[in-house]
Amino acid sequence: MRGHKPEAYHHIRRSAAVATKEFVRELASCPSTLPEPMVQRVEIQVPSNELMLGLLGERDGYLRVVEANFDSKILARGNVIHIEGQAAAETALVLEELILILQGGQGLDSAMVERAIHMVRANHRPSEVLTDRVVTTYRGKPVRPKTAGQKAYIDAIRTNMVTFGIGPAGTGKSWLAVACAVNALQAKDVERILLTRPAVEAGERLGYLPGDLMSKVDPYLRPLYDALQDMVGVEGLAKMLEKNTVEVAPLAFMRGRTLNDSFIILDEAQNTTPEQMKMFLTRIGFNSKVVVTGDVTQVDISGGRSGLMGTQRILEGIKGMGFVKLGSRDVVRHRIVQDIVDAYEQHDARRSS
């Protein structure tokens, strides 16, 4: 009969099933043959008591921040730090970088320690990033990059004639561009700083503004003014404006000019049209440096035809031109700003997929 199996067949299946269950039971009772993760032990000798105090932080707070980010246990005794755990070597690398930062004359804070951890995980050296001085403000405070992305941005400005800094709010695009401009002016590399941006409102109409040209464009350029005031002070900025060392010009008034011996900053470039962007870039004269900043996620221009979008595709390969893209990791405002940027990026990614 079709489908009939002999008794011997069923006996073999029952025997195989019993044998399989016994094998599984024996296997479960055997000790695991997989090697356990290796525990690493590292010691760091801190050169001085002063450096040790700076490294520990209040109530060993900085050590606890590092410890919470790695699978390691950290114990400080005297001037020796003992590290134990699966990530002891990486933990030690973070602490050694922090010691180098302290030896460079900088103090630490929790935000800097967190950034150093992210840099080490991304194979960057915090001691090279966080100790780079762009300029010293009139108060004697050094302006430095705070992330690896900001360091790349500053290096691009230093080495290129035209640099595009593209990224979300809070990444220091305009602030660092102004710092580089002030440094160039103080070093007499250029004779003046020129600030410009398109006069486009952020989604609302403000109507006609009263006053002269400066009064009309002042609200649009206020972020750059604020950065300049932080660098040179209120009186210093007033003198620079009086001597025309700092010039403010609406983008629409740039046509027909040739800009020599100048450090030019085009802010909010996502609100330029393609025609305006071409017009602006062809104003560059001899011994000038240009920084173009913008956020392609905040286009307010009518019709959405941004002159910033697609610029890299058009201009890539031209010698002396650099493009740096900053991300949420480069946000140096409150942590919630970084979370907001991440949330919007994820939302946009879901919409486009």
Is 52 among the domain residues? yes
Distance CA 8, CA 16 (A): 12
Is 220 among the domain residues? yes
Q: Are residues 74 and 218 in the same domain?
A: no
Q: Are residues 121 and 201 in the same domain?
A: no
Q: Are residues 245 and 310 in the same domain?
A: yes
Q: Are residues 56 and 161 in the same domain?
A: no
Q: Are residues 110 and 165 in the same domain?
A: no
Is 32 among the domain residues? no
Residue 93's SS3 state is helix
Q: Are residues 122 and 142 in the same domain?
A: no
Domain-ending residue, one of 103, 129, 155: 129
Q: Are residues 239 and 122 in the same domain?
A: no
| Domain of 88, in residue numbers | 40-129
Inter-helix orientation angle 49-56/88-103, to 10°: 120
Q: Are residues 256 and 145 in the same domain?
A: yes
Is 332 among the domain residues? yes
Q: Are residues 226 and 125 in the same domain?
A: no
Q: Are residues 163 and 284 in the same domain?
A: yes
Q: Are residues 195 and 315 in the same domain?
A: yes
Q: Are residues 227 and 142 in the same domain?
A: yes
Q: Could you give the number of structural domains in the chain? A: 2
317, 319, 321, 323: CA torsion to nearest 10: 40
| Per-residue model confidence as pLDDT tens for the chain (353 residues) | 445 555 544 444 444 444 445 544 554 555 555 555 677 889 999 999 999 999 999 989 999 999 999 888 999 998 999 999 988 999 999 999 999 999 988 899 998 999 999 999 999 999 999 999 999 999 999 999 999 999 999 999 999 999 999 999 889 999 999 999 999 999 999 999 999 988 765 444 445 556 665 666 666 678 888 899 999 999 999 999 999 999 888 887 888 888 999 999 999 999 899 999 999 999 999 999 999 999 988 888 777 788 898 898 999 889 999 999 999 889 887 678 767 877 877 777 777 77
Residue 256: CATH number of its domain: 3.40.50.300
Domain-ending residue, one of 106, 129, 152: 129
Identity of the residue numbered 15: S
Q: What's the per-residue H, E or C state across 108-132?
A: CCHHHHHHHHHHHHCCCCHHHHCCC
**Confidence (pTM):** 0.80
Burial of 73 (0-12, 13-18, 19+ CB in 10 A): middle
Distance CA 217, CA 198 (A): 9
Is 11 among the domain residues? no
Is 13 among the domain residues? no
Is 71 among the domain residues? yes
Summarised one tens digit per residue, pLDDT across range 283-342 is: 999 999 999 999 988 888 777 788 898 898 999 889 999 999 999 889 887 678 767 877
Domain-ending residue, one of 73, 107, 129: 129
Q: Terminus-to-terminus CA distance in the chain, angstroms?
A: 57
Is 17 among the domain residues? no
